[in-house]
A and B are shown apart, each in its own frame.
Chain A
């Protein structure tokens, strides 16, 4: 069996009295896109920076591509690429110069022009980094991370601050990288990003992993509930027994049900009998966002019940 790209057991990290990561287990297979999803301060950046070798751990076992990132050895750094949250290149150099400079640090770099094309910067290749837009600078970060042709790529909140079209573009780039067989470990607080990119994702809250799986598994495992939404003419209310709640955008209603067939049958029968239309009728399953909000708030409540103050938001080295 192939050794996993990342294996983590019982990972802990404390900053003084504050425990930012409280015992995490993770396994990421080769060629997989894995997302660590969680609110700010949940321990995402601390975790990814321990994997990158930027941070030491307090306890636990970590193996990335067979290396212990805590040793910070050159052989390990030759096999990974890192996109940090912050741009960090000499802005007086051109895109091509920055990429060539970094490519020279690696034993088997990818062709410089190819890297620039992968990052979508071909037109800007000979411009100085300081002349680029914010989104383009972010792509320089990606190009720098790809210069050494890494097996494993870390992306720490790669699209934070992007406009919607730039985000879509970045997603396309990441999908292109998976086709090259790269393993990608990304952190994000965007549900749609995790859902769009990741084969599997882990939800982290308050320093612990609360759920791991594909987006479908996460949604399915928690509940098979469906949500039904519809509109009724002003003054008309649906039958009590369905448990429908009026929505802020009245006259809309919403209900949650474990047996959508029966519920819809009752609802539509009632509407026909009333001679009214269920305008904008919509049936959907719970979204990843619903699951995420439920899990992260459960984690916070559990801490509050345990009598300890919820840890202050801490994303050291963000």
Chain B
């Protein structure tokens, strides 16, 4: 079997194992929806138009970055990665399988959140912007997957993973228009936030979801996210390890 076929096969096994851990699978989907419910209660009518794309961003980042950084660290500590590395499976095919599965889950989440927003809060799906959205989502999902792999490389062990991952992802989301709108933020914080891929991902999605948006592909945002993706790949190549760290 060639590498690509092996990677696809790996996605299938990954998927089977994923759904057999019902608690983990449930919360991957329940978390973003729960946040959406809470925010809409807190911020009232009209907030859904903002929070639907914002929660899509949150969901994609959870399914890729957070999920991979944690599960890859656990797999490394349990010796799964070392075991794989001793077989003929090309290591890139294994990682491609992991990333492929994370991206698939992210897309499923996008569909669920968009559907949730449309049915519960009447936020219309901007069909004319779907091609542009797909472009943003693909680049973002791959970028955040690569960053997740890179982060796992510097997490010392599985016990430390949740704390470290949250310490990285939550502040970034707080200043990126995901949970709170940045319109009232001081200029310097706004400037900091504009360096982050989270901010550009959120701005791109919120822009495409806006009423009367042209549906044009937001190239600047995609460019910044992709640059982070390249950095993520380089960092992952530098820091990723197959064996438990001591």
A positions within 8 Å CB-CB of B:
52-54, 74, 77-78, 80, 82, 84, 86-90, 92-93, 97, 101-102, 104-107, 128, 144, 148, 317
A109 to chain B, nearest CB (A): 10
Interface residues of B (CB under 8 A from A): 1, 6, 9-10, 13, 16-18, 20-21, 75, 78-90, 243-244
B1 touches A86 (CB 8 A): no
Minimum C-beta distance from B164 to chain A (A): 22
Pick the contact of B80: A80, A82, A89 (CB < 8 A).
Answer: A89
Whether the pair B13, A84 counts as a contact (CB closer than 8 A) is: no
Q: B9 and A104: CB pair below 8 A?
A: yes
Given A90-B17, A92-B21, A105-B6, verify A77-B78 contact (CB < 8 Å).
no
Residue from B1, B16, B90, B244 within 8 A of A104 (CB atoms): B1
Query: How far is the CB of B246 from the nearest CB of chain A, in Å?
Result: 8
Alpha-carbon distance between A317 and B79 when the two chains are bound, in angstroms: 10
Name 13 A/B residue pairs within 8 A (Cβ), A-sorted.
Answer: A80-B86, A84-B83, A88-B81, A92-B17, A92-B21, A93-B20, A97-B13, A101-B13, A102-B87, A105-B88, A106-B88, A317-B82, A317-B244
Chain B residues lying within 8 Å of A77, measured Cβ to Cβ, are: 86-88
Distance in angstroms between the alpha carbons of A104 and B244 in the assembled complex = 26
Given A74-B90, A77-B87, A106-B88, do A84 and B16 touch, yes or no (CB 8 Å)? no
Interface centre among A82, A87, A90 (most CB of B within 10 A): A90
Chain A residue nearest in CB terms to B12: A101
Contacts of B82 in A (CB 8 A): 54, 84, 86, 88, 317
Which 3 interchain pairs have the tightest Cβ spacing? Answer: A88-B79, A88-B83, A86-B79
Which residue of chain B is the closest to A101 with respect to CB atoms?
Answer: B13
A89 contacts which chain B residues (CB < 8 A)?
80, 83
Residues of B with C-beta under 8 A to A80 = 86
Question: Please, how many angstroms separate the alpha-carbon atoms of A106 and B6 in the complex?
Answer: 11
Given A87-B78, A90-B17, A93-B17, does the pair A144, B88 have CB atoms closer than 8 Å? no
From A82, A88, A106, A317, give the contact of B78 (CB < 8 A). A88
Distance in angstroms from A318 CB to nearest chain B CB is 10
Max chain A Cβ within 10 angstroms of own Cβ: one of B16, B18, B75, B88: B88
Chain B residues positioned under 8 Å from A104 (CB to CB): 1, 6, 9
State A317–B246 Cα separation when bound (angstroms).
9
Task: Give the CA-CA distance A104 to B87 in the complex, in Å.
Answer: 10
Which chain B residue shows the least CB distance to A129? B17
Question: How far apart are the CA atoms of A148 and B89 in the complex, in Å?
Answer: 11
B77–chain A nearest beta-carbon distance, Å: 9
Q: How far is the CB of B95 from chain A (nearest CB, A)?
A: 14
| Chain A neighbourhood of B17, CB < 8 A | 90, 92-93
How long is the Cα–Cα vector from A226 to B90 in the complex, in angstroms?
Answer: 55
